[in-house]
Every structure is written in C-alpha cells, then in structure tokens.
Amino acid sequence: MALVAYLFKQKPMKYIYEIQKIMSSKNLMLVYEGEFTQEITKSVLSMAERNLETKGEEMTIKRKVFNVMVECLQNICKHADSHDNEHEKEAVFMIGKEDNNYIITSGNFISNDNVESLKEKLDHINSLDKEGLKNLYKELIKNNELSDRGGAGLGFVDIARKSGSKLEYDFERINDNISFFSFKTSIPITKE
C-alpha cells in the first residue's frame, strides 16, 4: 500500500482509483478494515453471502466459504479483545477469487508472546492428513474446555477441514511487543 500512500500525498483524489484498481486486479469481492465485533461479523457475512448468491455459486462451495469466513472473523474478534491499544484492535478481512479458488484472507495484530504457540498450532494442523484432522477435531471438542482464547485452535482445525487446503500464514514483527499475523485459506471451486 506504499503506492497508495505516495499517491495520496501527490494527488489527493488519485488513491480512490488506485484502490479500485488493486481490488479489481486481485478479484477482491469484499474488503473490510477496522474494528471487529460480532455485529460487524454478521454484516460482513451477510454481504459476502449475498455476493456469492448473486454469482450463483454452488450450494456446497457457498457453505464452505461461509463456514471459513465465520471462523476467521470470530478468531479476529476474540483476539482483538487482548489489545489495549485502539490501533492494534484493527484488522483486515478480505474475500476474493484467484484462479479456481475462493481466497479468504485476514490480518491482525498479535502479541509477540503468542507468535510461537500459534505457529506451532498451525504447523501441527498442516502436518496432519484428513483422518488426522478429524481425530484432532474430535479430541478438541470432547475435552470441551471452553477457553475464550480461540478454543485451543478448534477454529483453525475446522478451517483446514472445510477448505481441504493447507493453511498459509505469515508473521511480520512490528516492534518488541506486537507482530502482524496474516492468514490465508483457499477453497477450491471445482468439486473433488
């Protein structure tokens, strides 16, 4: 987005067109940046759902996309609470299309203390096959510990299962306290 910032300085109105171009070239259907709450989650979901319906997307794909969106958005909501700084509560959520996949991406700030454990959780999920994921899912709901910090990664396990794809992620260290966590899920449009 450095380009957008530069243009904003040079030609104050130009950034609108630049954002439109980026969204169009990346095939982004929806982008939301700001604070996340359950109310915002509901609005984003209903907009995305209407968008998928307009596109005449197949029911099974639509449901997978919807499920992944719910888990992503609620993950962000849960983690936003752990920040005191208003700016750090802000996050970004996008849904778009790339080749033959729906792409759901999110980005939010997390405390550096949590980076290692989150990375381990995601790597563990990515190391499992379909059967392994199913067993982990059952294990986690059976133990039934309603931890308020993301239910021991149950959401991520569900995302991996529904999408059938590996979870992609990145951590960008911002300062001594926080990092920016980027997360991407691909949902193949063609049925297996």
Partner 1 sequence: MQILQLEGTEDTPRIFLDKSKNIFEISGRSLPEDAAEFYKPIIQWLSDYAKDPNPSTELIIKLEYFNTASSKLILDVLSKLEEIKNSKVIWYYYEEDEDMKEAGEEFSELVDVPFEYKTY
If the CB atoms of residues 115 and 154 are measured against partner 1, the closer one turns out to be 154
Strand blocks (E) in 43-177: 90-98, 101-111, 168-173
If the CB atoms of residues 30 and 133 are measured against partner 1, the closer one turns out to be 133
If the CB atoms of residues 82 and 112 are measured against partner 1, the closer one turns out to be 82
Q: Point out which residues bind partner 1 (CB under 8 A).
A: 38, 41-42, 45-46, 59-60, 63-64, 66-67, 70-71, 74, 77-78, 134, 137-138, 141-142, 144, 146, 151, 154-155, 157-158, 161-162
Q: By the 8 A CB rule, do 186 and 103 touch?
A: yes
Q: Tell me whether strands 178-188 and 168-173 are parallel, antiparallel or unpaired.
A: antiparallel
Is 166 in a helix, a strand, or coil?
A: coil
CB of 96 to partner 1, least distance (A): 21
If the CB atoms of residues 29 and 157 are measured against partner 1, the closer one turns out to be 157
Which of 145, 54, 67, 141 shows the shortest CA–CA distance to 104? 67
If the CB atoms of residues 54 and 144 are measured against partner 1, the closer one turns out to be 144
Q: By the 8 A CB rule, do 66 and 45 touch?
A: yes
CB of 143 to partner 1, least distance (A): 9
How many other β-carbons are positioned within 10 Å of the β-carbon of residue 92?
16
Is 58 in a helix, a strand, or coil?
A: coil
CB of 162 to partner 1, least distance (A): 6
